[in-house]
Amino acid sequence: MQAITILGATGSIGLSTLDVLARHPERYSVYALTAHSKVEELAQLCIRFRPKLAVVGNAEAAAVLAQRLRTAGLTTEVSYGPQALCTAATDAACDTVMAAIVGAAGLAPTLAAARAGKKILLANKEALVMSGQLFMDAIAASGASLLPIDSEHNAIFQCLPPDYGRDLQRHGIRKILLTASGGPFLERAIETLDTVTPEQAVAHPKWSMGRKISVDSATMMNKGLEVIEAHWLFGATSEQIEVVIHPQSVIHSMVSYADGSVLAQLGNPDMRTPIAQALAYPERIDSGVAPIDLIQIGQLSFRQPDMLQFPCLQLAYDALAAGGSAAALMNAANEIAVEAFLERQIGFRRIPQLIAEVLHRLPADAVHNLDDLLEQDRRARELARALLVA
Ligand code: NDP
Ligand code: MG
């Protein structure tokens, strides 16, 4: 029996995870569920999955949740705030942590899980993009296992040899081919992107996801974050990671070998597949996802991304090359820019401009610990907010 903590249980990934867990009650139990502000949604999940611990964002939300659970006759402990998230992720009674909080807010508990030697199912790519070497060092030191949930990285993981030790050379790996759908604006002329609305940006043609990652997919910052994520997960240099636009989202990524073989993982665009793969690894379990119908799909197509149309992708390659805190600065500026776009404060094309301005004005620093990183994150947010009103 694996006891699971879901950080971000009320989100898109959190709910897909619970859907898979519910199919296998004999294998998995729920140790803790966390949310930020969706108290009623979390209460419903607690009533259904009966965790030992539930965590929300603040004291008022915790009081409301505790009352609600008492009334329902539950003994679930209720707690709140960043420290409580870390407890949920590190308690001895939990084996596996699904890291599915969105953005930098997930960094501290995910890193805590890494230090505590947990099995980590990583959806929260921002946490790894920000902390890079620090995170990988924590994994190595504690002996934690790290399994990618992001569909592309999960696909790559499945196409790599089982004993892969982040050494491409030794395994005859030439390249990682990271596929991208291109998002909702792939076919639009750049000049017309000024007028796109948040509703249009979050309407992803292939995947149903949270609002932040949906905007990231429209700007292709999501793919940029994924290039950096692949660098850390698989030990690949930026030259060894090639982004390939594949609008059908049937192939979730590929690995190209020295002998000319290219291995791919295919499937319907449903996050329950990578979630089930990582939960059960190395076994295979039912995820509720139907197999793809290749005849129905008919054709697959591929093309090169246009860096002029998607400047965020170039910004991410540049941040990776710059090293140090550059990726954390970029991530923070992006989070502020996306929030401002969703609140209709800025236009869509202002997103990459704002990030570029922050990166131009704040030089990347060396990162030695979590405090350094949080300080860099804070500075980038402060500057991005100032530039928003400038
Ligand atoms: P959602 O916005 O749907 O869910 C986010 C979750 O995080 C919610 O449970 C939310 O709580 C919680 N949360 C938000 N802010 C905070 C905070 N400050 N402190 C603590 N908890 C917080 O996001 P997704 O599920 O779409 O994405 C989650 C992560 O997974 C992201 O990093 C994303 O990039 C990654 N990912 C997602 C994919 C997808 O298909 N959705 C695919 C690949 C990766 P509440 O509901 O109470 O606000
Ligand atoms: Mg992805």
Q: How is residue 249 written in tokens?
A: 């989202």
Q: Where along the chain do the CATH 1.10.1740.10 domains lie?
A: 323-390
Name which of 369, 330, 364, 328 is nearest 134 in CA terms. Answer: 369
Rounded (10°) angle between helices 151-159 and 221-234: 30
pLDDT for position 163: 86
pLDDT at 386 over 90: yes
pLDDT at 390 over 90: no
Q: How is residue 35 written in tokens?
A: 């949310």
Q: Ligand 1 pocket test: pick from 209, 212, 225 the residue with the most ligand atoms within 8 Å of its Cβ.
A: 209
Instruction: Dump pLDDT digits (tens) for 228-250.
Output: 999 999 999 999 999 999 999 99
Q: Where along the chain do the CATH 3.40.50.720 domains lie?
A: 2-148
pLDDT at 206 over 90: no
pLDDT at 204 over 90: no
Q: pTM for the whole thing?
A: 0.98
pLDDT for position 120: 98
Longest dimension (CA), the chain: 63
Q: Ligand 1 pocket test: pick from 5, 13, 39, 338 the residue with the most ligand atoms within 8 Å of its Cβ.
A: 13
CB 379 within 8 A of CB 362: yes
CA–CA gap between residue 183 and residue 201 (Å, rounded):
8
Instruction: Dump pLDDT digits (tens) for 350-371.
Output: 999 999 999 999 999 999 999 9
Tell me the mean pLDDT in the region 176-188.
Answer: 96
Q: From the alpha carbon of 39, which atom of ligand 1 is closest?
A: 47
Kindly provide the b/e burial profile for residues 160-182, where b requires at least 16 CB atoms within 10 angstroms of the residue's own CB. Answer: beeebeeebeeeebbbbbbbbbb
pLDDT band at 127 (very low <50, low <70, confident <90, very high): very high
Sequence-separated (6 or more) residues with CB below 8 Å from residue 123 = 8, 13, 98, 99, 100, 149, 150
Residue 303: DSSP 8-state:
B
Sequence-separated (6 or more) residues with CB below 8 Å from residue 347 = 194, 195, 341
Residue 290: DSSP 8-state:
P
Distance 238 CA to ligand 1 centre (A): 27
pLDDT at 205 over 90: no
Any idea which fold 323-390 has?
A: Rna Polymerase Sigma Factor; Chain: A (1.10.1740)
Q: Which of helix, strand or coil describes residue 147?
A: strand
CA–CA gap between residue 297 and residue 310 (Å, rounded):
27
Helix (H) or strand (E) holding 244: strand 241-245
pLDDT band at 35 (very low <50, low <70, confident <90, very high): very high
2-148: CATH superfamily: NAD(P)-binding Rossmann-like Domain (3.40.50.720)
Instruction: Dump pLDDT digits (tens) for 283-325.
Output: 999 999 999 999 999 999 999 999 999 999 999 999 999 999 9
Q: Is the CB of 249 under 6 A from ligand 1?
A: no
Query: Using only C-alpha atoms, what is the Rg of the chain?
Result: 20
Q: Is the CB of 12 under 6 A from ligand 1?
A: yes
Instruction: Dump pLDDT digits (tens) for 212-225.
Output: 999 999 999 999 99
- Top pLDDT among 165 and 103 is at 103
pLDDT for position 207: 86
Q: Ligand 1 pocket test: pick from 36, 107, 335 the residue with the most ligand atoms within 8 Å of its Cβ.
A: 36
Peptide bond preceding 82 in cis form (omega within 30 of 0) = no
Instruction: Dump pLDDT digits (tens) for 14-32.
Output: 999 999 999 999 999 999 9
CA–CA gap between residue 281 and residue 304 (Å, rounded):
33
CB 178 within 8 A of CB 152: yes
pLDDT band at 279 (very low <50, low <70, confident <90, very high): very high
pLDDT for position 165: 85
| Ligand number, closest to the Cα atom of 14 | 1
Kindly provide the b/e burial profile for residues 1-16, where b requires at least 16 CB atoms within 10 angstroms of the residue's own CB. Answer: eebbbbbbbbbbbbbb
Q: Which of helix, strand or coil describes residue 386?
A: helix
pLDDT for position 82: 97
Tell me the mean pLDDT in the region 141-170.
Answer: 95
Sequence-separated (6 or more) residues with CB below 8 Å from residue 230 = 152, 153, 156, 176, 178, 236, 241
What are the φ/ψ torsions at residue 43 (nearest 5 degrees)? -60, -45
CA–CA gap between residue 353 and residue 311 (Å, rounded):
9
Average pLDDT of every residue of the chain: 97
Distance 104 CA to ligand 1 centre (A): 10
CA–CA gap between residue 29 and residue 207 (Å, rounded):
28
Instruction: Dump pLDDT digits (tens) for 46-91.
Output: 999 999 999 999 999 999 999 999 999 999 999 999 999 999 999 9
Neighbours of ion ligand 2 (CB under 5 A): 150-152
Tell me the mean pLDDT in the region 205-213.
Answer: 92
pLDDT for position 179: 98
pLDDT at 6 over 90: yes
CA–CA gap between residue 350 and residue 194 (Å, rounded):
8
pLDDT for position 223: 98
Q: Is the CB of 221 under 6 A from ligand 1?
A: no
CA–CA gap between residue 249 and residue 263 (Å, rounded):
16
